[in-house]
Amino acid sequence: MQKIIDNIKKEFERINTELGNSNLTPDRLATLGKERAAMEPIVNKISEYESLTKTMRDNGEIINAGEDAELIELATLENAECAEKIPTIEKELEILLLPKDPNDTKNILVEIRGGAGGDESALFAADLFRMYTRYSEIKGWRTEIINESRNDVGGFKEVVFAINAPGDTDPVYQSMKYESGVHRVQRIPETEKQGRIHTSTATVAVLPEAEEVDIVIETKDLRIDTFASSGPGGQSVNTTMSAVRITHIPTNTVVSCQDGKSQHQNKDQAMKVLRSRILQKQQEEHAQKVGDERRSQVGTGDRSEKIRTYNAPQDRVTDHRIKQSWSNVEKILAGDIAPLIAALQEEDIRIKLEQQSAKNDNADAS
């Protein structure tokens, strides 16, 4: 760990030195500012750790000198306090030093689709959409619908929306990446007269938003079609050809957008979704080729994986990845998912720490 700490301190010093250069361009200044802000919590924790260890060394010299009984007693007491604090600081520092997911700071696109269960699955998709939009409100994030397709009972066949973090709010993908997968609900539908419990599913895909610099898409590889926007059940709601469908021919990725006010706006939104889908696909293919650890971590599994069940009759929500349950389905579907996400983050950190420890053991052995 000491070698890593030394490298971080050198890099932080280099950034501070460069920030003192008055000839920096605005872009370089912004980049350095972000790098410094990301490193600052780690550097502060290192300073806290080094201050404690220095105090213990200084006190050790006083104790070993054996010249003043009162000073020895004070030094011994202070070292006992430091010894209690150091393991906690070391664990916090170990977590801060874990490799970062480069997507954690990005905004996201969320795609929710009704799965098995007919109309009930579409209604459940709408419940999940409300759950995430209300959670976003609690976090201070902004949501924007990019495309939606409703059925006749008011549910979603599909809804695609963006979540953006303004100002000093928490990063979006860092929390929401754990929501990708198949969500299952068990409840009695309002249309079920005999009171039978119905099981239905909806799939959620959380995509880190890709910028134009992240992935280059050639115009020649696109087929762009326009059509009239439609309402619930496919009903046409306007006569202008404002809706846009973009097909990326090499990957056969198709994106439609009709919720914007103009064809130009719908095209921009569709391109945003297209870039994110293609980037996600490339990252998944790369992870499979190199046997990336991310596939074994919480929240990065296959989208077909059943991750959570919302059991209304038993008033219980169970996350199958960590085998943990919470009560009050209604409250959770109203946006109170912070406890679930916190538990998933803790498990993710635990797995990463185990993997890092195994790497260190292997390095020591070799």
Domains 2-96 and 108-350 share a fold: no
Contact 180, 205 (CB under 8 A): yes
Q: Is the pLDDT of residue 232 over 60?
A: no
pLDDT at 233: 46
CATH 1.20.58 fits 2-96, yes or no: yes
pLDDT at 286: 64
pLDDT at 31: 82
pLDDT 10s digits, 176-227: 999 999 999 999 887 676 778 899 999 999 999 887 767 778 889 889 888 8
pLDDT at 191: 66
pLDDT at 52: 95
Q: Is the pLDDT of residue 358 over 80?
A: no
What average pLDDT does the structure give for the chain?
86
Q: For residue 44, how many other CB atoms are within 10 A of its CB? A: 11
- Per the model's pLDDT, the better-predicted residue between 313 and 269 turns out to be 313
Type of residue found at 54: K
Q: Is the pLDDT of residue 22 over 70?
A: yes
pLDDT at 366: 62
Average pLDDT over residues 34-52: 91
Query: Rg of the chain over CA atoms, in angstroms?
Result: 26
End-to-end CA distance of the chain: 17
163-177, 283-297, 351-365: least confident range: 283-297
Task: Assign 285 a pLDDT band (cuts: 50, 70, 90).
Answer: confident
Residues of the chain with pLDDT > 70, as a percent, come to 88
Please give the model's pTM, rounded to 2 decimal places: 0.75
61-65, 292-296, 333-337, 339-343: least confident range: 292-296
38-47, 239-248, 292-301, 324-333: least confident range: 292-301
Contact 331, 340 (CB under 8 A): no
Q: Where are the domains of the chain?
A: 2-96, 108-350
Nearest to 313 by CA among 299, 301, 330: 330
Residue 200's contacts (CB-CB under 8 Å, 6 or more residues apart) are: 114, 115, 116, 117, 118, 120, 121, 124, 184, 185
Rounded to whole angstroms, the Cα distance separating 284 from 294 reads: 10
Residue 349's contacts (CB-CB under 8 Å, 6 or more residues apart) are: 95, 98
CATH 3.30.70.1660 fits 108-350, yes or no: yes
- Mean pLDDT highest for which of 17-31, 66-80, 200-214? 66-80
Task: Assign 300 a pLDDT band (cuts: 50, 70, 90).
Answer: very low
Nearest to 136 by CA among 307, 338, 328: 338
Q: For residue 202, how many other CB atoms are within 10 A of its CB? A: 28
